[in-house]
C-alpha cells in the first residue's frame, strides 16, 4: 500500500468533507453481533460536538472530490483549481476498520463528488457500506450521503446498509439554487427523499407483521441547507425546514453557515464573515419547532423575518408577546410553561410533577435547574414575585440582557477544523 499517497488522499478528502455538517448520528441503534465489530447506540455516537455544532468522532470523508458539477458554493466544483483525489472502495473500508479498531472513530460519514454520474457514484458509496457490513461484520454507524438522480433500486440498497441517509437541499429556495447551481434542481432531491420516506413507512408497517424484516436506514434521513450564500430570510429558511420535517419524515435539518472560499460575483465577497451566530440561532429556532410546539410563523414574522442575534428566539418571542406573561407556574398548561424563557423540557416535566405535591416558588425553580436569571421576569406564584413589575418597563429588554451573559460573545468566530 502506498501510505504517503493514502495520507495525502485522506488530507484532501477529509478537508473537502468538512463543509458538510449533517453528520449527527442520533437515533441509530445497531447492536453488535457475535464475531462482529462495533455497535451504534440509540443516543448517537457523535458524543463530542464542537461549539459550532460539528461532530468530531466519525471518519468524515469524501470518496472523491472529482465532480462533474459546478455548484458555485462548493469547494469541489469542477472549475475550482484544487488538488483532486479519489479513494478506492477498499481504501475507505480499510481506513474505517483500522480507525475504528484504534478507537479514533465510532463510525463513517461518507459523501462524494459526482465523478461520472449519480448512479455510478451512489453505487460506489453503497459498495463501501455493503463491504463493511457483509465482509467485515461492521456494526458501527454509517451515514451515507445520497446522490440526487440515483435510481430507487440503489437507494433501497443504501438504506439496507446505512444507518442514516441524507440528501442535501444545499440552497433553501429554488431561485437560490438556480442561481448558484443551475445544473441541479430541488425536484432531483425531493424524489429520493420521498422514496426514503416511503421505505421508512413500509419498514415500520412490515415490522408490525414480521419480526425479522431487514432494517432500513434506522437513523432516518436528514438534510442540510447552506445559510448566507443567497439572500433567503431566516423566516423562509425555517419554513422550508418545517415543510421537510412535516412532509418527508426528516430526523434533522442542519444549517451550515456559508464559508466564503471562492471568488464569484453571485456569492458574498470572499472577506465576508461566516454567519456562525445566525447558524446557531437557526438551530435554536429549529429546536423550538421540534420540541417546544412553536410554529415557524410564531418564531418570526413577515415584517421582521430575521432572527434576533442578541437574544435567543424563545426570549425574542416572549419579548414580543409580553401580554402572555407572567405565567402562573402552579396552574399553567405545560405548553405555556414551555414558552417561559429559561425553562427547558426537563424542567417543565419536573415542575409538573413537583406541583402535584406543593405550591412552587422561584427558589424551587432554581433548584430544578431553571435559568432563573431569565425565567424570573416571566413567572408568577401565589406569593409575590418582585420581578414581574419589569415586564411592562420600557427598558425590559435591556434589563434582561444585563442579567445574562451570552456564551457567543464573538458572533463571527472561525470554524474549527476537524482533522
Q: How far apart are CA 270 and CA 383, in angstroms?
A: 57
**Among residues 167 and 237, whose Cβ is nearest to ligand SF4?**
167
Smallest distance, ligand SF4 to C-beta of residue 76, A: 4
DSSP conformational letter for 141: E
CB of 223 to ligand SF4, least distance (A): 13
Q: Which is nearer to ligand SF4, 10 or 311 (CB)?
A: 10
**Residue closer to ligand SF4 (CB basis): 151 or 330:** 151
Q: In whole angstroms, how close is the CB of 146 to ligand SF4 at the nearest point?
A: 12
DSSP state of 215: P
Q: Cell numbers at residue 236, please?
A: 423562509
Q: How far apart are CA 92 and CA 62, in angstroms?
A: 9
- Choice between 69 and 408, CB closer to ligand SF4: 69
**Cell 483549481 sits at which residue?**
81
Q: Residue 99 and residue 107: Cα distance in Å, rounded?
A: 9
Close Cβ partners of 217 (under 8 Å, ≥ 6 residues apart)? 158, 159, 162, 163, 164, 165, 196, 199, 200
State which residue, 76 or 139, has the beta carbon closest to ligand SF4.
Answer: 76
Least Å distance between CB 221 and ligand SF4?
17
Supply the minimum distance, in Å, between the C-beta of residue 57 and ligand SF4: 24
Give the position of cell 483500522. 98
Nearer to ligand SF4, 22 or 57 (CB): 22
* Of residues 77 and 314, the one with the C-beta less far from ligand SF4: 77
The residues with which 379 forms a beta bridge, in sequence order, are 327
Closest C-alpha to 302, from 238, 237, 235, 231: 235
- State the distance between the two ends of the chain, measured CA to CA, in whole angstroms: 22
Distances in Å between the Cα of 17 and the Cα atoms of 169, 305, 341 are: 16, 31, 36
Strands across the sheet containing 250-257: 58-62, 107-111, 141-145, 164-166, 221-227, 250-257
Distance of CA 355 to the CA centre of its chain: 35
Q: Evaluate whether 253 touches 241 at the Cβ level (below 8 Å).
A: yes
Residues lying near ligand SF4 in the complex (CB under 6 A) are found at 67, 69, 71, 74, 76-77, 113-114, 181
Closest approach, Cβ 252 to ligand SF4, in A, equals 19
Residue nearer to ligand SF4 on the CB measure, 74 or 229: 74
Q: Is the dihedral of CA 313, 315, 316, 321 positive or negative?
A: positive
* Collapsed DSSP state (helix, strand, coil) of residue 8: helix
In the complex, least distance from residue 9 CB atom to ligand SF4, rounded to whole angstroms: 16
Would you mind telling me the total number of residues written for the chain in this entry? 419
Name the minimum Å distance from CB 149 to ligand SF4: 10
- In angstroms, give the least distance from the CB of 47 to ligand SF4: 28
Complex with ligand SF4: residue 139 or 256, whichever CB lies closer: 256
Amino acid at each position: 500500500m502506498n501510505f504517503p499517497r493514502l495520507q495525502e488522499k485522506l488530507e484532501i478528502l477529509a478537508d473537502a468533507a468538512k463543509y458538510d455538517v449533517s453528520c449527527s448520528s442520533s437515533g441509530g441503534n445497531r447492536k453488535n453481533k457475535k464475531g462482529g465489530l462495533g455497535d451504534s447506540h440509540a443516543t448517537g455516537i457523535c458524543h463530542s460536538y464542537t461549539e459550532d455544532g460539528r461532530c468530531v468522532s466519525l471518519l468524515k470523508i469524501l470518496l472523491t472530490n472529482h465532480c462533474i458539477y459546478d455548484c458555485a458554493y462548493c469547494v469541489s466544483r469542477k472549475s475550482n483549481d484544487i488538488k483532486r483525489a479519489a479513494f478506492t472502495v477498499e481504501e475507505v473500508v480499510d481506513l474505517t476498520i483500522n480507525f475504528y479498531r484504534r478507537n479514533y472513530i465510532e463510525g463513517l460519514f461518507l459523501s462524494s463528488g459526482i465523478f461520472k454520474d449519480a448512479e455510478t457514484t451512489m453505487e460506489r458509496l453503497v459498495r463501501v457500506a455493503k463491504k463493511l457490513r457483509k465482509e467485515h461484520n461492521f456494526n458501527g454507524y454509517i451515514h451515507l450521503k445520497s446522490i440526487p438522480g440515483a435510481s430507487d433500486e440503489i437507494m433501497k440498497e443504501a438504506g439496507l446498509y446505512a444507518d442514516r441517509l441524507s440528501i442535501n437541499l444545499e440552497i433553501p429556495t429554488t431561485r437560490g439554487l438556480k442561481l448558484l447551481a443551475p445544473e441541479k434542481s430541488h425536484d432531483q432531491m425531493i424524489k429520493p427523499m420521498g422514496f426514503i420516506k416511503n421505505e421508512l413507512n413500509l419498514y415500520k408497517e412490515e415490522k408490525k407483521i414480521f419480526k425479522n424484516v431487514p432494517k432500513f436506514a434506522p437513523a432516518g434521513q436528514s438534510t442540510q441547507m447552506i445559510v448566507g450564500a443567497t439572500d433567503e430570510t431566516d423566516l423562509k429558511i425555517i419554513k422550508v425546514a418545517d415543510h421537510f420535517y412535516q412532509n418527508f419524515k426528516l430526523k434533522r435539518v442542519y444549517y451550515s453557515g456559508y464559508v466564503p472560499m471562492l471568488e464569484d460575483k453571485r456569492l458574498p465577497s470572499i472577506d465576508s464573515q461566516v454567519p456562525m451566530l445566525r447558524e446557531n440561532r437557526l438551530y435554536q429556532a429549529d429546536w423550538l419547532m421540534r420540541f417546544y410546539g412553536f410554529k415557524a410563523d410564531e418564531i418570526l414574522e413577515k415584517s421582521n423575518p430575521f432572527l434576533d442575534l442578541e437574544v435567543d428566539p424563545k426570549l425574542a418571542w416572549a419579548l414580543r408577546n409580553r401580554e402572555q406573561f407572567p405565567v402562573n407556574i402552579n396552574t399553567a398548561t405545560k405548553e405555556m410553561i414551555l414558552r417561559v424563557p429559561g425553562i427547558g423540557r426537563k424542567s417543565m416535566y419536573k415542575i409538573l410533577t413537583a406541583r402535584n405535591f406543593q405550591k412552587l416558588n422561584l427558589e424551587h425553580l432554581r433548584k430544578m435547574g431553571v435559568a432563573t436569571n431569565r425565567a424570573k421576569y416571566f413567572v408568577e406564584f401565589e406569593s409575590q414575585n418582585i420581578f414581574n413589575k419589569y415586564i411592562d418597563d420600557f427598558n425590559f429588554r435591556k434589563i434582561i440582557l444585563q442579567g445574562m451573559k451570552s456564551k457567543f460573545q464573538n458572533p463571527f468566530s472561525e470554524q474549527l477544523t476537524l482533522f
